[in-house]
Amino acid sequence: MHLMYVDESGDPGIDAYSSLHYILSGLIISEDDWKENLVRLKKFRKSLKNTYGLNQRTEIHASELIRINKLTEYRNIGKTERINILRDFCSQILIIFDTAKVINILTVFIGMSFLKEV
């Protein structure tokens, strides 16, 4: 069996206030690798706590790290440090989940029709 985490950015372009993109990303790992991956993830999250003071249970949310909106805990961390958290996370994700497969789907919208799907 495999486990898959899926996240999205943007929206599917339903109304005039929709974003111009819709991205789906999935991280797929074997259940046999889950425990080892979880140990590495927890170790990484502990390093973020030690380095930046970020609570281990606080969601890592790229848009919030760049521009705080809802996650008030980020207000205690300077913008440069928040960008470094994002940079650290991006550099470590494929090390933490070294056997994972990644799927990305990007749709760019113009008006109510899509321009390109990658």
Determine if the pTM surpasses 0.85: no
pLDDT digits (tens, 9 = 90+) for 28-41: 999 999 999 999 99
Question: Domain locations in the chain?
Answer: 2-117
Q: Are 13 and 114 in contact (CB under 8 A)?
A: yes
Q: H helices of the chain, where?
A: 34-52, 62-66, 79-96
Residues 29 and 17: their CA atoms lie apart, in Å, by 35
pLDDT digits (tens, 9 = 90+) for 43-94: 999 999 999 999 999 999 888 899 888 888 899 999 999 999 999 999 999 8
Q: Are 66 and 82 in contact (CB under 8 A)?
A: yes
Residues 95 and 99: their CA atoms lie apart, in Å, by 9
Q: Is 55 exposed, middle or buried (0-12, 13-18, 19+ CB in 10 A)?
A: exposed
Q: Is 54 exposed, middle or buried (0-12, 13-18, 19+ CB in 10 A)?
A: buried
pLDDT digits (tens, 9 = 90+) for 71-80: 888 999 999 9
